[in-house]
C-alpha cells in the first residue's frame, strides 16, 4: 500500500551534513524552511521533529488549557493521543459516510462553551470543508462569546488544496507530517503552519524549550524564557533528507491524483463498492484511496490473493481502552466502519498495476 519516496540525492546530502561538524538544528533546517515557505505559500511556519509534536504544539498555542477538543475517531491515533498528551478531553464527532471525514452537522451540534479546539483531520488527503468549519466556530463565538481554535491535521494531505490554496492558508493552525511513508519524508519530521505572527513567534520558541535560535537572537545566557517549550525541533540531518525529497514531490502528488482519477472512472459503477466524495472546492492529494465495500474481509482476501495490498489503515480510535471515558454513540460511524478499505494509489503504481487492481475488483469478491 505504501512505498518510501527517497531521492537519490539524499545519501550525499546527509553525508555532507554528517561531515560538516553541525548536525543539530542549523543551516539545513533554515534552508528547508525557506523552501517550505514558498511551497506552502505562507511564510509563518516551523519545522518540528514529528507531526505528533506539531499537534501538541498547536494544542498549546490554541490556548487549550482545560476543556474539550472535538475530534474525529477515524484517523491515526496520533491525532487523538496528542489531545490526551495536552491534558484535554476528547469529544467524538460522528463520521460523514460520504467524505469519511467528520460529520459537520454533528460538529455544529456538539460545539459548546466547553469547546477549546476543533481538531480537523484531512483524512487520506481529502480536505474537510474548511469554510463550514469556520462558520461553526464563528457561530460558537456569537452564541457563547468565545471562538474555539481550529487545528488542521494535514499529516496525510501534503499537496491537497481547499478553495484553490494549499492547506495551511485558511486562518488555522495546520500540521503536516514528514514521517517515513508520507508524500515527503525526512525519516521523521513535521511542520506547523501558523495563522498569525504571534502564534508563529510563540511556536518557533516553543519548539526548543522556549529559547530563541533564530539569527539575531540574544546570547543564550541572556535569554529569559517567558513560555516554556519542549524538544520539538528538527535537526539538520532530517532537514537534508526533506530538502532532497522536496524535489519530485509535485510529480509524485500528480501521479497519486492521476491514479485516483483512473479509479474514479473505472470503479464508479462497480456493484457493492462506493467511492469517497471530495468536498466541493477541494483537491485531495490521495495518500490512499478509501472506498466502502460490502463484505470487506472477502474483498481484502480477494485482492491479497491477486498480490494487492489493501486494508483498513486507521481503525476507529474511540474503542481503545484509554479513551473509554469519552465513549458516546456514533451511529453513522457504526454503519460504515466495517466497510471502509483503502486501495494503493501512489506514485509507484504502473499503468499495469492499476489496471490489475481495477480488473481484480471488477471480477468480483
Ligand atoms: C492523521 C495523522 N495525524 C498525525 C500523524 C502523526 O505524524 P508523525 O508520525 O509525524 O508524528 C499521522 C502519522 O501517520 C497521521 O496519519
Question: Among residues 246, 270, 288, which one ends one of the domains?
Answer: 246
Q: Residue 52 Cα, ligand 1 centroid: separation in angstroms?
A: 6
Percent of the chain whose predicted confidence (pLDDT) is above 70? 99
Domain range enclosing 302: 249-362
Question: Among residues 184, 211, 246, which one ends one of the domains?
Answer: 246
Q: List CB contacts of 55: < 8 A, sequence separation 6 or more.
A: 78, 79, 82, 151, 153, 175
CA of 182, closest atom in ligand 1: 14
In this prediction, residues 316-329 reach a mean pLDDT of 98
- For CA atoms 76, 82, 85, 89, the dihedral sign is negative
pLDDT for 28 equals: 98
pLDDT digit string, tens, across residues 152-204? 999 999 999 999 999 999 999 999 999 999 999 999 999 999 999 999 999 99
| Separation of alpha carbons 119 and 139, rounded Å | 17
Q: What is the total count of domains within the chain?
A: 2
pLDDT for 215 equals: 85
pLDDT for 63 equals: 80
> Which residues have C-beta atoms less than 6 Å from ligand 1?
50-52, 75-76, 78-79, 121, 153, 155-156, 177, 179, 190
pLDDT for 260 equals: 98
Residue 278 domain-assigned (yes or no)? yes
Q: Pick from 53, 81, 84, 156 the residue to mutate for probing ligand 1's pocket: most ligand atoms within 8 Å of its CB.
A: 156
Residue 237 domain-assigned (yes or no)? yes
Q: Residue 18 Cα, ligand 1 centroid: separation in angstroms?
A: 27
Q: Tell me, what CATH number does 231's domain have?
A: 3.40.640.10
Q: Pick from 84, 155, 188 the residue to mutate for probing ligand 1's pocket: most ligand atoms within 8 Å of its CB.
A: 155
The reply to whether 229 and 135 lie within a common domain is yes
Backbone φ, ψ for residue 146 (5° rounding): -145, 130
pLDDT band at 128 (very low <50, low <70, confident <90, very high): very high
pLDDT for 302 equals: 98
**Cα angle value 82/86/89 (rounded, 5°):** 90
The reply to whether 253 and 140 lie within a common domain is no
CA of 50, closest atom in ligand 1: 10
The reply to whether 137 and 56 lie within a common domain is yes
In this prediction, residues 245-272 reach a mean pLDDT of 98
| Separation of alpha carbons 44 and 203, rounded Å | 10
The reply to whether 142 and 23 lie within a common domain is yes
Task: Pick the residue whose CA is nearest to atom 7 on ligand 1.
Answer: 51
Residues serving a catalytic function are: 182
Coil vs helix vs strand at 212: coil
CA of 179, closest atom in ligand 1: 10
Q: Residue 352 Cα, ligand 1 centroid: separation in angstroms?
A: 31
The reply to whether 92 and 184 lie within a common domain is yes
Mean pLDDT of the chain, nearest integer: 97
pLDDT band at 66 (very low <50, low <70, confident <90, very high): confident
By CB atoms closer than 10 A (0-12, 13-18, 19+), residue 272 is middle
Question: Among residues 246, 271, 301, which one ends one of the domains?
Answer: 246
Task: Pick the residue whose CA is nearest to atom 8 on ligand 1.
Answer: 51
Q: Is the pLDDT of residue 64 over 80?
A: no
Q: Residue 113 Cα, ligand 1 centroid: separation in angstroms?
A: 28
CA of 123, closest atom in ligand 1: 1
Q: Is the pLDDT of residue 21 over 80?
A: yes
Q: Residue 232 Cα, ligand 1 centroid: separation in angstroms?
A: 15
pLDDT digit string, tens, across residues 214-228? 889 999 999 999 999
By CB atoms closer than 10 A (0-12, 13-18, 19+), residue 133 is buried
Q: Pick from 119, 153, 177 the residue to mutate for probing ligand 1's pocket: most ligand atoms within 8 Å of its CB.
A: 177
pLDDT digit string, tens, across residues 70-97? 999 999 999 999 999 999 999 999 999 9
Amino acid at each position: 500500500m505504501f512505498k518510501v519516496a527517497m531521492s537519490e540525492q539524499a545519501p550525499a546530502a546527509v553525508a555532507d551534513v554528517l561531515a560538516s561538524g553541525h548536525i543539530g538544528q542549523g543551516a539545513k533546517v533554515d534552508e528547508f524552511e525557506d523552501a517550505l515557505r514558498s511551497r506552502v505559500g505562507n511564510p509563518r511556519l516551523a519545522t518540528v521533529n514529528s507531526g505528533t509534536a506539531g499537534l501538541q504544539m498547536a494544542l498549546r498555542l490554541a490556548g487549550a488549557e482545560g476543556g474539550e477538543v472535538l475530534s474525529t475517531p477515524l484517523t491515526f491515533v496520533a491525532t487523538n493521543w496528542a489531545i490526551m498528551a495536552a491534558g484535554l478531553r476528547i469529544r467524538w464527532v460522528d463520521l460523514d459516510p460520504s467524505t469519511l471525514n467528520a460529520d459537520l452537522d454533528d460538529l455544529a451540534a456538539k460545539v459548546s462553551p466547553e469547546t477549546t479546539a476543533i481538531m480537523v483531520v484531512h483524512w487520506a488527503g481529502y480536505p474537510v470543508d474548511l469554510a463550514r468549519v469556520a462558520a461553526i466556530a464563528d457561530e460558537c463565538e456569537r452564541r457563547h462569546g468565545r471562538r474555539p481554535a481550529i487545528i488542521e491535521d494535514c499529516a496525510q494531505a501534503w499537496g491537497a488544496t481547499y478553495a484553490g490554496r494549499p492547506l495551511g492558508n485558511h486562518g488555522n493552525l495546520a500540521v503536516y507530517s514528514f514521517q517515513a511513508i508520507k508524500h515527503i519524508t525526512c525519516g521523521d519530521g513535521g511542520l506547523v503552519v501558523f495563522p498569525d505572527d504571534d502564534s508563529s513567534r510563540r511556536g518557533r520558541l516553543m519548539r526548543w524549550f522556549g529559547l530563541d535560535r533564530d539569527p539575531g537572537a540574544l546570547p543564550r545566557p541572556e535569554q529569559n524564557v517567558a513560555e516554556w517549550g519542549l524538544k520539538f525541533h528538527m535537526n539538520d540531518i532530517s532537514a537534508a533528507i526533506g530538502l532532497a525529497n522536496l524535489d519530485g514531490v509535485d510529480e509524485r502528488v500528480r501521479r497519486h491524483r492521476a491514479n485516483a482519477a483512473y479509479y474514479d472512472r473505472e470503479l464508479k459503477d462497480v456493484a457493492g463498492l462506493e467511492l469517497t466524495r471530495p468536498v466541493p472546492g477541494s483537491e485531495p492529494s490521495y495518500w490512499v484511496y478509501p472506498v466502502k465495500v460490502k463484505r470487506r474481509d472477502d474483498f481484502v482476501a480477494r485482492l491479497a490473493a491477486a498480490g494487492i495490498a489493501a486494508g483498513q489503515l486507521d481503525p476507529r480510535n474511540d474503542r481503545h481502552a484509554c479513551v473509554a471515558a469519552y465513549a458516546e454513540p456514533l451511529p453513522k460511524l457504526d454503519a460504515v466502519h466495517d466497510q471502509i478499505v483503502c486501495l494503493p494509489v501512489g506514485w509507484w503504481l504502473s499503468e499495469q498495476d492499476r489496471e490489475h487492481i481495477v480488473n481484480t475488483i471488477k471480477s468480483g469478491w
